[in-house]
């Protein structure tokens, strides 16, 4: 039997007409190709305007591509949109996307009907989701009275109401406080455990690193790389950092002259950060520091943010 | 059917939480005394049925324009429109369910008007042909819902829906013969007026309150329903266009 990916994208391009007459056409997606495996949590990482939301909208049948194809479990998002829609749960970040004057329960019951949840299952599914997302106690309150984080959790519940095999989460933690964001990561792991496939867009490196199996870097509508987050980390292992405190001044000169040391950054109160540019340079730096009697030392793994900077360049951080 | 009912429930819940959508029903009792006082002081209490019926028709049309007309627009601004498009449900069915609920709620205006006439002026306008009255009211509600689908689809892509809403209501009420029968309007307006379902509906409603027989009930009812059907056809075609536009351009409207 032919293996069918939950999400398969081939040469997908989306252009938008010029905002004003005579202006340039905007290319939101430029010949994007990507396969996402069953049960995978896939991160789409990029700055604002990179094309993440456009891709989400096309995959969820809300927007048509200019050219190329995208399929969900083999169903084409353009020609077989009706078959695609029951398979997908779509979640946008932010405050919009809910009937704010209604209660959470009313919202979920409505969306359950739109997703054709069998009548007998509606109450059970709504209450289960409310409990799962920690919203049960306030489910009778108008959504407009809720905090942004609670609304975001309701967005997730709404996205899950149709019991989708594929979830598309566009900036799902936008507006969440750190505690809620951590809970969200736990939920993502649970969803993966249930066999769902998730596509998560974010410009938060830590989030992508924490929850994703693979991460695709996107910028200017083009996919730059798709890798395991740890693999991406290894790309810039040459750019590992060593933080040290109470480093004698002469040692600093020695460090700067070591092979593979890119620069020594002076931090506040005598602390320094040594940036390496060659794999293995970290070990030399550590030996040098220890030989000099410096014991307050820490190495830090490169974050996805740094990976992004190295792969995309400085433009990527102007979000 | 299930989506239709869910949409109707959503609209009912919205009414409960947003009573401002029902504001028209608060203004109806203000129109009834105005029209009745004019009739009374002119010594034409025989026109009381006209005075009582008109506010109900005004309520129906106002809610079609203002509440039903904004259904998609509000969803668009609330961010629920795109999410709706991503569901297996069909947008026209959702819009129809919500519009039908608004139309049914607007019928309360007619009951209100009757009540105000009785309580404030002691005038009880008898419904002399109840069968014709109920049938006409049903046909009018069906046609109004169809017209409201057109409003909902048109207003979402106009730059200034509010201006349209405000400026459309008076011509429609005039051409629809809400207060003044079309026969009394200047002759050149008749052909235009007869293209408005409301003109046939208002005449039939008045006829069902008058002592004489209701002439040509079924053909006239057929015209009301037929013109309403034209509204549905245009409305659904426009909705398909709105969806197509949203999917192809990424935009729903011009605003």
d(CA A57, CA A65): 9
Query: CB distance A64–B248 less than 8 Å?
Result: yes
Query: CB distance A61–B78 less than 8 Å?
Result: no
pLDDT classification of A99: cutoffs 50, 70, 90: very high
B249 contact residues in A (CB cutoff 8 A): 16-17
Query: CB distance A98–B78 less than 8 Å?
Result: yes
Partner A contacted by B3 (CB < 8 A): yes
Q: Which of A98, A99, A113 sits opposite B3 (nearest CB)?
A: A113
pLDDT value at residue A319? 35
Residue among B75, B83, B94, B96 with most chain A CBs within 10 A, to mutate: B83
Q: Distance from B41 to chain A by nearest Cα, in Å?
A: 46
d(CA A254, CA A257): 5
Mean pLDDT of A58-72: 96
For residue B236, give the nearest of B94, B125, B27, B64 by alpha carbon: B94
How many other C-beta atoms lie within 10 A of the C-beta of residue B17?
16
Indicate the length of chain A as a whole number: 319
Mean pLDDT of A71-87: 96
pLDDT value at residue B180? 84
Indicate the length of chain B as a whole number: 255
d(CA B81, CA A105): 19
* Top-confidence residue, A281 or A308: A281
How many other C-beta atoms lie within 10 A of the C-beta of residue A194?
11
B84 contact residues in A (CB cutoff 8 A): 114
The 10s digit of each residue's pLDDT in A12-63 is: 999 998 877 788 888 999 999 999 999 999 999 888 888 999 999 999 999 9
Query: CB distance A97–B14 less than 8 Å?
Result: no
Interface size A-B, in CB pairs within 8 Å, comes to 88
pLDDT value at residue B255? 44
Most confident of A89-93, A287-291, B83-87: B83-87
Mean pLDDT of A2-6: 84
Closest chain B CA to residue A158: B83
Helices (H), chain A: 52-59, 81-84, 104-114, 119-132, 148-160, 178-193, 205-211, 229-235, 249-257, 281-291, 304-312
Above 70 in pLDDT, residue A304?
A: no
The 10s digit of each residue's pLDDT in A147-165 is: 888 888 899 999 999 999 9
Helices (H), B160-216: 161-175, 190-193, 197-207
B246 contact residues in A (CB cutoff 8 A): 62-63
Closest chain A CA to residue B248: A64
Taken in order B219, B221, B224, B226, the sign of the CA dihedral is negative
CB contact at 8 A, A84 and A72: yes
- DSSP assigned state of A142: B
Partner A contacted by B84 (CB < 8 A): yes
- Ranges under pLDDT 50 in chain B: 255
Per-residue tokens: A76: 């084409």
Mean pLDDT of A99-114: 95
Closest chain A CA to residue B249: A16
Radius of gyration, alpha carbons of chain B: 19
User: Which residues are A8's β-sheet partners?
Assistant: A35, A71
Whole-prediction pTM value? 0.84
Partner A contacted by B104 (CB < 8 A): no
CB contact at 8 A, B148 and B102: yes
pLDDT value at residue B35? 92
pLDDT value at residue A305? 60
Partner A contacted by B150 (CB < 8 A): no
The 10s digit of each residue's pLDDT in A119-128 is: 999 999 999 9
What is the end-to-end Cα distance of chain B in Å, rounded?
A: 33
Q: Distance from A72 to chain B by nearest Cα, in Å?
A: 13
Query: CB distance A102–B10 less than 8 Å?
Result: yes
Partner A contacted by B2 (CB < 8 A): yes
d(CA B244, CA B83): 15
For residue A153, give the nearest of A126, A179, A135 by alpha carbon: A135
Question: Mean pLDDT across chain A, nearest whole number?
Answer: 87
d(CA B114, CA B108): 10
Above 50 in pLDDT, residue A317?
A: no
pLDDT value at residue A88? 96
d(CA B248, CA A15): 10
Q: In what order do the strands lie in the sheet with A272-276?
A: A261-266, A272-276, A241-244, A297-300
Partner A contacted by B13 (CB < 8 A): yes
Q: Distance from B167 to chain A by nearest Cα, in Å?
A: 29
A114 contact residues in B (CB cutoff 8 A): 3, 6, 84, 87-89, 94
pLDDT value at residue A51? 92
Residue among A55, A62, A152 with most chain B CBs within 10 A, to mutate: A62
Most confident of A75-89, A300-314, B5-19, B68-82: A75-89
How many other C-beta atoms lie within 10 A of the C-beta of residue A318?
8
Partner B contacted by A26 (CB < 8 A): no
Q: Which of B2, B84, B88 sits opposite A86 (nearest CB)?
A: B88
- Provide, rounded to the nearest whole percent, the portion of chain A with pLDDT above 70: 91
d(CA B19, CA B15): 5
d(CA B47, CA A139): 52
Above 80 in pLDDT, residue A318?
A: no
What is the domain partition of chain B in residue ranges? 2-249
Partner A contacted by B87 (CB < 8 A): yes
* Top-confidence residue, B37 or A315: B37
Closest chain A CA to residue B94: A114
Partner B contacted by A62 (CB < 8 A): yes
Say if residue A7 is exposed, middle or buried (CB neighbours under 10 Å; 0-12, 13-18, 19+): buried
How many other C-beta atoms lie within 10 A of the C-beta of residue A25?
10
pLDDT classification of A226: cutoffs 50, 70, 90: confident
Most confident of A1-5, A222-226, A312-316, B222-226: B222-226
pLDDT value at residue A313? 60
pLDDT value at residue A5? 93
**Phi, psi (5° rounding) for residue A240?**
-60, 160
**Phi, psi (5° rounding) for residue A24?**
-80, 150
B98 contact residues in A (CB cutoff 8 A): none
The 10s digit of each residue's pLDDT in A186-203 is: 889 999 999 999 999 987
pLDDT value at residue A194? 92
Closest chain B CA to residue A58: B247
pLDDT value at residue B184? 87
CB contact at 8 A, A293 and A286: no
User: Which residues are A298's β-sheet partners?
Assistant: A243
pLDDT value at residue A213? 92
Burial call A33-60: b when 16+ CB within 10 Å, e when fewer: ebebeebbbbbbbbbeebbbbbbbbbbb
- Provide, rounded to the nearest whole percent, the portion of chain A with pLDDT above 90: 49
Q: How far is CA B147 from CA A303, B61, B226, B227, in A?
A: 58, 9, 12, 9
Query: CB distance B86–A64 less than 8 Å?
Result: no
Contacts of B63 (CB under 8 A, 6+ apart): B24, B102, B103, B105, B106, B109
């Amino acid at each position: 039997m032919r293996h069918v990916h939950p999400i398969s994208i081939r040469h997908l391009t989306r252009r938008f007409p010029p905002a004003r007459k005579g202006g340039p056409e905007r290319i939101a997606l430029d010949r994007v190709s990507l396969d996402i495996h069953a049960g995978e949590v896939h991160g789409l990482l990029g700055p604002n305007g990179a094309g993440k939301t456009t891709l989400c909208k096309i995959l969820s049948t809300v927007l048509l591509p200019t050219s190329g194809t995208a399929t969900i479990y083999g169903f084409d998002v353009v020609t077989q949109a009706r078959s695609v829609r029951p398979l997908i749960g779509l979640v946008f970040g932010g405050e919009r996307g809910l009937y704010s004057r209604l209660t959470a329960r009313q919202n979920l019951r409505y969306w359950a009907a739109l997703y054709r949840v069998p009548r007998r299952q509606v109450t059970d599914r709504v209450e289960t989701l409310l409990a799962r997302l920690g919203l049960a106690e306030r489910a009778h309150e108008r959504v407009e009275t809720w905090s942004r984080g609670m609304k975001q959790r309701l967005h997730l519940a709404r996205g899950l109401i149709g019991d989708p095999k594929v979830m598309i989460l566009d900036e799902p933690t936008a507006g969440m406080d750190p505690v809620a964001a951590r809970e969200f990561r736990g939920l993502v792991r649970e969803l993966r455990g249930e066999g769902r496939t998730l596509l998560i867009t974010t410009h938060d490196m830590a989030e992508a690193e924490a929850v994703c199996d693979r991460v695709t870097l996107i910028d200017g509508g083009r996919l730059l790389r798709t890798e395991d987050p740890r693999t991406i980390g290894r790309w810039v292992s040459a750019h590992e950092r060593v933080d040290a405190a109470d480093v004698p001044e002469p040692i600093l000169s020695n460090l700067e002259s070591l092979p593979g040391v890119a620069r020594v950054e002076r931090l506040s109160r005598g602390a320094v950060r040594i940036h390496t540019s060659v794999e293995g340079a970290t070990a030399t730096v550590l030996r040098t520091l220890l030989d000099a009697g410096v014991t307050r030392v820490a190495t830090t793994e490169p974050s996805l943010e740094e990976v992004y900077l190295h792969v995309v360049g400085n433009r990527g951080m102007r979000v | 059917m299930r989506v239709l009912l869910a949409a109707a429930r959503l609209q009912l819940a919205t009414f409960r939480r947003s009573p401002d959508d029902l504001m028209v029903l608060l203004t109806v009792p203000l129109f009834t005394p105005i029209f009745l006082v004019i009739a009374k002081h002119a010594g034409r209490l025989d026109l009381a049925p006209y005075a009582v019926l008109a506010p109900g028709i005004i309520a129906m049309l106002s809610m079609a324009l203002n509440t039903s007309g904004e259904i998609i627009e509000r969803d668009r601004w609330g961010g629920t429109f795109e999410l709706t498009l991503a569901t297996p449900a069909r947008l026209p069915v959702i819009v129809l369910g919500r519009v039908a609920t608004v139309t049914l709620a607007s019928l309360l205006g007619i009951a209100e008007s009757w009540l105000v006439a009785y309580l404030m002026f002691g005038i009880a306008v008898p419904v002399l042909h109840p069968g014709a009255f109920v049938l006409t009211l049903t046909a009018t509600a069906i046609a109004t819902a169809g017209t409201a689908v057109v409003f909902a689809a048109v207003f979402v892509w106009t730059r200034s829906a509010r201006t349209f809403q405000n400026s459309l209501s008076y011509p429609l009420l005039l051409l629809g013969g809400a207060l003044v029968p079309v026969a009394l309007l200047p002759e050149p307006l008749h052909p235009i007026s007869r293209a408005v379902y409301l003109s046939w509906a208002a005449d039939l409603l008045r006829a069902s309150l008058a002592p004489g027989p209701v002439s040509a009930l079924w053909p006239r009812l057929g015209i009301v329903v037929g013109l309403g059907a034209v509204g549905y056809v245009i409305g659904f075609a426009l909705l398909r266009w709105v969806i197509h536009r949203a999917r192809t351009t990424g935009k729903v409207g011009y605003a």
